[in-house]
Amino acid sequence: MTGSVRLSFAALALALPVLAQTFGELRFDRLAQGYRFTEGPAWSKEGGYLIFSDTPSDRLLKWVPGSETTVYRSDAHGPAGNAFDAQGRLYTCETRTRRVTRTDKNGRIEVLAESWEGKKLNAPSQIVVARNGHAYFTDPAFGEQSDRRELDFHGVFHIPPRGPMTLVAKFAGRPRGIALSPNGRTLYVSNADDHNIRSWEVDRNGEAAGERVLVAKIEGAPGGIAVDAQGNLWVAAKGIAVFNPEGKRVHSIDMSEVVSSLTFGDADMKTLFLAARAMVLRARPDTP
């Protein structure tokens, strides 16, 4: 069942000659609904379809334009964040098995990360994969996950195409959303407890350094991040906040539903897909 709802898009008056865009009222369509808690929308450029998680129901769902949503995988171990690499392989954060897996185009599942220095990960949450195959994920712990933690920190990790996993950062607060700039040279991570977004510079080997707070005092607990073609960060927080690459807020969207994560997709990469509790929404902003 699908439907639509109009939500206000409030533009802040900032002088941005380089990043000037026309943002008007957005029309959000209900792409799918009736789930327990949706997470991790990811668009397959190669396959032309959307994957998203229904975390409490242990399912990955698939939506192909013009078709009904189908079950991509059941018994998916509490899936949260998802991402596709340049080869069309699906990366998934599994909160119940506390690991990161990769599914190839033949359906073979490979475990990429499940422990750090002999201790189980907390509960991998969100993941992003660069064009050169370097993957980065957040590893917070929420609710009951905190009761069975083996690590004494919440981490951000780097999985290179070859070689062992490395630690990008460790926090007392819980990192959530993660994204890369369009050129892959800047890594962004939101922190739900610190209410900020941090950034790192990424070198040619995929190593991240130079941590700094890009955006501070975000209203609400920031979650997923999607980056558009101009480098703006669309952040799920209290509604959706949009920041330019320098960390200045340029727009905001009031939402009646809590958004956990979001991504751009469709054939032209101009559609914004949102995971919002029991629903998945989509809209067409004036930005690719």
Among the residue ranges 79-88, 160-169, 252-261, the one predicted with the least confidence is 252-261
Whether 143 maps to a domain, the answer reads: yes
Sheet strand arrangement including 26-33: 3-7, 26-33, 279-283, 271-276, 261-265
Per the prediction, the chain carries an average pLDDT of: 90
Higher pLDDT, 28 or 79: 79
Structural domain harbouring 133: 45-248
CATH of the domain at 178: 2.120.10.30
pTM equals 0.91
Asked if 81 and 127 touch (Cβ cutoff 8 Å), the reply is yes
In tens, the pLDDT along 29-68 reads: 999 999 999 999 999 999 999 999 999 999 999 999 999 9
Q: 260 pLDDT exceeds 80?
A: yes
Whether 127 maps to a domain, the answer reads: yes
Q: CA 173, CA 140: separation in Å to the nearest integer?
A: 8
Q: CA 74, CA 77: separation in Å to the nearest integer?
A: 8
Whether 258 maps to a domain, the answer reads: no
Q: 4 pLDDT exceeds 50?
A: no
**Residues 6 or more apart from 152 whose CB is under 8 A from it?**
none
Q: 97 pLDDT exceeds 70?
A: yes
State the average pLDDT over residues 147-174: 96
In tens, the pLDDT along 37-46 reads: 999 999 999 9
Whether 183 maps to a domain, the answer reads: yes
User: Which string of DSSP letters, residue by residue, matches 57-80?
Assistant: GTEEEEE-TTS--EEEESS-SSEE
Whether 11 maps to a domain, the answer reads: no
Looking at the structure of the chain, the number of domains it has is 1
